[in-house]
Amino acid sequence: MKLGIVGLPNVGKSTLFNSMTLGKAEAANYPFCTIDPNVGVVAVPDKRLDRLTALYNSAKTTPAVIEFVDIAGLVKGASKGEGLGNKFLSHIREVDAIVHVVRCFEDPNVIHVEGSVNSVRDIETINLELIFSDMEIIERRLSRTIKSAQSDKSLRREVEILQKLYKELEEGKCARLVEFDNDDDYTFVNSLDLLTAKPVLYAANVVEDDLMNDGADNENVKAVREYAANENSEVFVLCAKIEEEISELDNEEKAEFLADLGVEGSGLDRLISASYKLLGLISYLTAGPTESRAWTIKNGTKAPGAAGKIHSDFERGFIRAEVVAYDDLDRLGSYTLAKEQGLVRSEGKEYVVKDGDVILFRFNV
């Protein structure tokens, strides 16, 4: 999973990136201090893996990972080359989802490119630039498709979809909010790789006092939540400065620090949880003496597809999956005991993998 961190300059993107990845992206009080995208890979915290490693005496523990891409601040006119323009828009096309950092704090010492803090205006500034960029792409694609459709009638539906998309974008609507008739239409839209079709997670960046009550009294946070609700996006509240402070603490110190603040879990934990929910992802687990490992899949994936995450041969030669729920394994403390109690199931090709399944795949190639 690759997440792109975007937002206006000086909203806390690089500070957030540094805290999440222990990276060294430059974070300065002026626009465009991030020129090339910074990339960092972060392990997904999963206490189940530690337990499995202990149960199986695994030589290696491998968590699932998320790749974060810190993309430089966009400004009005980015789609036309303002600021550093289309260079950054191209970086966004490569991610699975967008983490849109929104400034929800006042600080006279931190410059705001618009001169004031207004969360919805800032969100719409970014969205508008992404819309303009998408319109250019659709315009070029539409021109080619209309010509081809004159001799190939099968392309006429594509022309209709492109025209509908362009009209909706022209009215300020993001592609992810445009409704179509069937799955084939959505498949075609997804193939266009539009910026505004990507799912969005809004990160409301607040001061420490607002973090303690999850931004409940912050008018800008309220506005972000209302905006996100209207487009079925996720929101989480964080204080990028605090995240940076705790990023180099060990787990025990971090837990103590957060407890003193009255906050459950770090911003990274909440970001990962929200990202999994937004993208419809779950994790299944494999365990043994060699390695205990978490694998990320789409919710609804069947056993052969899950096996294919490990190796294509596992999917091609799939025979069955031996499955035990993590909770049962954790409670009994032994795979042997779980098997004796009939809690290890043999599942076939139609089995839909569940979050926390501990699986041993049987295959033959």
- pLDDT tens per residue, range 135-170: 989 999 999 999 999 898 889 999 999 999 999 999
Residue partners of 121: CB distance under 8 A and separation at least 6: 114
pLDDT, mean of residues 39-60: 90
Please tell me the predicted confidence (pLDDT) of residue 336.
Answer: 94
Q: Is the pLDDT of residue 362 over 60?
A: yes
Nearest Cα residue to 132 out of 80, 184, 208: 80
pTM: 0.80
Q: Determine which of 20-29, 101-110, 193-202, 295-304 has the lowest per-residue pLDDT on average.
A: 20-29
pLDDT, mean of residues 231-259: 85
Contact in structure between 160 and 139 (CB atoms under 8 Å): no
- Average model confidence (pLDDT) across the chain: 86
Token pair of 126, please? 């970014």
Q: Can you tell me the distance from the alpha carbon of 36 to that of 88, in angstroms, rounded to the nearest whole number? A: 8
Q: Is the pLDDT of residue 278 over 80?
A: yes
Q: Determine which of 60-64, 156-160, 257-261, 352-356 has the lowest per-residue pLDDT on average.
A: 257-261
Measured at the CA of 274, the angle between CA 233 and CA 302, to 5 degrees, comes to 100
Q: What percent of the chain has pLDDT over 70?
A: 90
Q: Is the pLDDT of residue 333 over 90?
A: yes
